[in-house]
Structure 1
């Protein structure tokens, strides 16, 4: 045990030492990855139920995070407190599940007490401990060695390096499973619909466009005055201009209006055909809203006409809609 009678180090030196010790602990994990890691991945990938993660104390906190990471990356998982498991919560575990148990010592009483019950259920067990010769490790179908040489705590007592190593090893396991499953960014977004990533990967133009009575449009050949009134009425900064068959002929925008005023003296004598933009930027309703952002930014425009397969306007999308939806 370190001699604590030495002169105290500065807070920054203490922090640097802690980071160095924990960095070394993570680095040492590379040499510990062996056939047991491969076996653990095989067992989890073959699991038809869920991965039930358990652990006590600090290992339990790491286990809770690991369960959440697994669940959000394609491996259904949840955390069960080992103490509660012995008092009824074991009923959450079914024969189709797999248990992933964390214990730095591998001898935590609340965790090892579950071993006979898990064996009776026939549930595969993957353990993560700092001692490959521990009770938990010996009874597991696959053991992940998260052992460290020492804790970053100067007393070598408080779980620091050991929890960091377990956290990193858990992340390595989750990522290996993610890649083995071919897990995609869109699948990730499905479990994060409330976040900005979910909005970028899930929200489509049709979800946020203005449609029905909120769709600004005038017929080809209409007086320019009608187009201006429609732009003002809908407040989207543009109007669609449609052919007799209902297809999009072009658009008339605020920018077109400024150019019209610069180039024409008698604007009231004009029809929208004379000054509209042809064919006009357009987008399909099933396109990701994030792609609409890119089109607007590239074209330096603030609105798009939304058209169906026959190029008939069915909606209108403004940059403000994308801002309000959280896509940008």
Structure 2
């Protein structure tokens, strides 16, 4: 409820697409050292394919992140992804609980054609195991449209503690906030997942409520800058400075390149990997799916936004360069 910067953790792979445990740990160490208030693991940015039995990385990746968060020496909010139909989702929630995660970010992508009643029964079943973070994932990367009526009833589930609003759509963002306000609940935290409108979400009052933090794939790189940006946005109580609005446009421009908006977000995960590779945290941009990678021209676009906004990149780049050897031990 205080508002946290929560990066969505990527997956560190070797050239033969196997888990690179050393760099996976280094990523977590980087996020915690950068000041992230929490970490989301096993989510879209971590690649849903880690759940494939042939891959078998869901529990190992969650466990690695848990070990590093345990060593942090401070409170870290632990969010784990929950996917699949009800049997799978309940099993994943049980695993998260056993590993000490605080809440499950509940994706409904596997129930694309289910009606609201079925969706809500599914949510209640998972919510009996672990506190829920609702998730409005944009359809372009596997989500589905979730109307106001669904959210109005979703927020009546007692175990809901937060919601990540990530439809990349102003109308649908309003549906979620309006539904929460209608319930009268003041114990559910609003988090932006709209990587294309981060500053706008964080400084705008919505029906008397504020979006207090971000749970973002965009914050999986240049994270120290993200933590500072969140603090700046939280400090705004009245008129929004023009310079902050301009930073918001810069973040949207950077996100368009990293998330590959020009190609329907095909290269969104590889784009994050490319930035982390440039900084030395990852060895390459490999994803579990051999067909998933940078789109034509995406590398050049990321290089363009890096050069266009050095004040948003260089401090984080310098921070990583100073500590990288320690994180990789």
Give the alignment's TM-score, normalised by structure 1. 0.29
Report the structure number with the largest CA radius of gyration.
Answer: 1
Give the alignment's TM-score, normalised by structure 2. 0.29
